[in-house]
Structure 1
Amino acid sequence: MTIIEQLKHRIKSLNTRIEQSSKLLEEVEEGTLKISFLAQASAESSIEKNTFLLNKYTQKLKKLSLEDINDVNEKEKTKEEIRLRNYFKYQIQRIRRDKTRTEKEKHNALLIIEDISEKLQLEDEDIFEIGNKSKELFLDIHTNLDDDLLEIKNEFLGLVENEFDENNHELKLLNYRIPIIILQLRTLLHNVHENIKESNLNNFKGFPKFQDWWIEELWVSHQAYLALFKWKRVVLSLLLSCEQKKSFENIFTNWILVKKILNLKGKNGYAYNHAFDQMIHKYAELEEEQNESNLLSLKNIVAQGTMEKNLEAVKDKNILINGYTKFKIEKAKEK
Structure 2
Amino acid sequence: MNSVIALEELIKEEESRAALLQKQLANHESGENRLSRLALASTESSLEETQEKLTKHKVMYEELMKQDLKELEEKEKLEEAIRRKKYFDNQNLRVKNNNEKADDQKLEAMMILDELPEEVNFEDDELFEIAQKSLELNLKDHKELKDELSIIRKDFKSHLKNCKEEKLSEIELLNFRIPILVLHFSVLLKNIENNFVPKDDEEEKEKPKKFTGFPRYEDWWIQELWSSHQAYFALFKFKAIIMNVCKTGEQKRSWSKIFDNWVFVKKVLTDKGALAHDYHFALDALLHKYAKLDEELESKNLESMETIIKKITKKEDFTKMARNHSLITPYLKFKKEKLNSLK
Normalising by structure 1, what TM-score?
0.47
- For the pair shown, the structure with the greater C-alpha radius of gyration is 1
Q: TM-score, normalised by structure 2?
A: 0.46
